[in-house]
Amino acid sequence: MAKLSVIVPFYNVQTFAPDMLRSLASNARADFEFILVDDCSTDRTPEILERAAGGRLPGARLVRHERNQGLATARNTGLDAAEGEYLAFLDGDDWLAPGYLPQLLSCIEELGCDFVRTDHVQCTGRERVIHRVPDGRRGEVLDPRDAILPADTSTSVDYPYAWAGMYHRRLKDAGLLHFPDGLRTAEDRPWIWRLHRKAESFAVLGLLGVFYRRGVASSLTQIGDVRQLDFIRSFDQVLTETAEDPRADEFLPKAVRTYCAIIAHHLSNIDRFEPQVARRLKTLSTAAMKRMPQDLLTAALDSMDLDRSVRLRRLRWMDRLLPTRDAGGPDRKETAA
């Protein structure tokens, strides 16, 4: 068995893939495997990955999708192929510092916990900004459930980046590491909530070594098309699963407030969406708020700053003024776009 499996999905990142692969080579070890998942790229990415798997990157294995299925499913494909005792995720347009993975592996082995979370460096052009896990306790084994709250403060579940950490295989065997298939964005939100609710131990490390490339033109965070609206399905899953938790009364206010904050964020950037997607965003957001426990929704809106609160209250108010519509009517075509 490999000691570590590193899962890296790639989709049309020919400009950045060589840097990523070189950074993996600077972290290679005889007992490491690198699962390169080509999610049906249409540029030169497959050629670059073939060369890496052909010997340029020690321990590399190439897995291909016959059709594009999105980041969540690509990560699941890599998980299914992974043989390592420990697992890590990366994205095809990011990169690692030399020797980072062996250091991270040494830390999680020494701590003996289910998973570790790390800080990262966000790279936008030439700008570099350190983003830290929102938990000040470093190098200490903790209960993941205790890191979910408080509701009105940024906590570990608000730092969902799968690539900012390492995970023991027992989490995969317990069904905690797979992502919701088919989600095109926010796939890591149900994932991080489930991990913190169901894993037994974790730790936060101050180790820096992941460089996250922001502002890539092909990234879904930069594209205002219908795929962005998958955050609704993602957070619906968070609410559904959290409602079944024994501590639902404690955790649901946090889940509802976070859901509202994400809706408000997208509404504040609505001009970047295609017109029909912008309309769909409002429709789906309104319906999502109606599905939330109304007492928790009211409390969440009361706790928010004025700008976000007004945006969300306006949707609630407008919905009360409009006649009931058939939710399966004109919007079906937009959903299939």
pTM: 0.90
Helix 230-243 to helix 248-268 angle (10° resolution) is 170
CA 42, CA 166: separation in Å to the nearest integer? Answer: 30
CA 108, CA 115: separation in Å to the nearest integer? Answer: 7
* Nearest by Cα to 198 from 225, 178, 227, 220: 178
Q: Is 96 exposed, middle or buried (0-12, 13-18, 19+ CB in 10 A)?
A: buried
Three-class DSSP category at 165: strand
pLDDT confidence of residue 328: 41
* Nearest by Cα to 138 from 208, 186, 86: 208
Q: Where are the beta strands (DSSP E) in 149-261?
A: 165-168, 202-205, 210-213
pLDDT confidence of residue 183: 86
Q: What angle do CA 252, 253, 259 make, to 5 degrees?
A: 85
Contact 84, 5 (CB under 8 A): yes
Residue-by-residue pLDDT tens, the chain, 337 positions:
899 999 999 999 999 999 999 999 999 999 999 999 999 999 999 999 999 999 999 999 999 999 999 999 999 999 999 999 999 999 999 999 999 999 999 999 999 999 999 999 999 999 999 999 999 999 999 999 999 999 999 999 999 999 999 999 999 999 999 999 988 889 999 999 999 999 999 999 999 999 999 876 544 444 557 888 999 999 999 999 999 999 999 999 999 999 999 999 999 999 999 999 999 999 999 999 999 999 999 999 999 999 999 999 999 887 776 554 444 433 333 333 2
CA 122, CA 4: separation in Å to the nearest integer? Answer: 24
**Residue 308 vs residues 111, 179, 231, 249, 266: alpha-carbon distances, Å:** 40, 29, 18, 24, 10
In the chain, what is the straight-line distance between the N-terminal and C-terminal CA atoms, in Å? 43
pLDDT confidence of residue 224: 59
Q: What's the token pair of residue 15?
A: 């400009």
**How many CA atoms within 13 Å lie on the side-chain side of 311?**
18
Contact 124, 54 (CB under 8 A): no
Helix 188-198 to helix 230-243 angle (10° resolution) is 20
pLDDT confidence of residue 225: 74
* Nearest by Cα to 146 from 86, 107, 203: 203
* Nearest by Cα to 254 from 150, 178, 145: 150
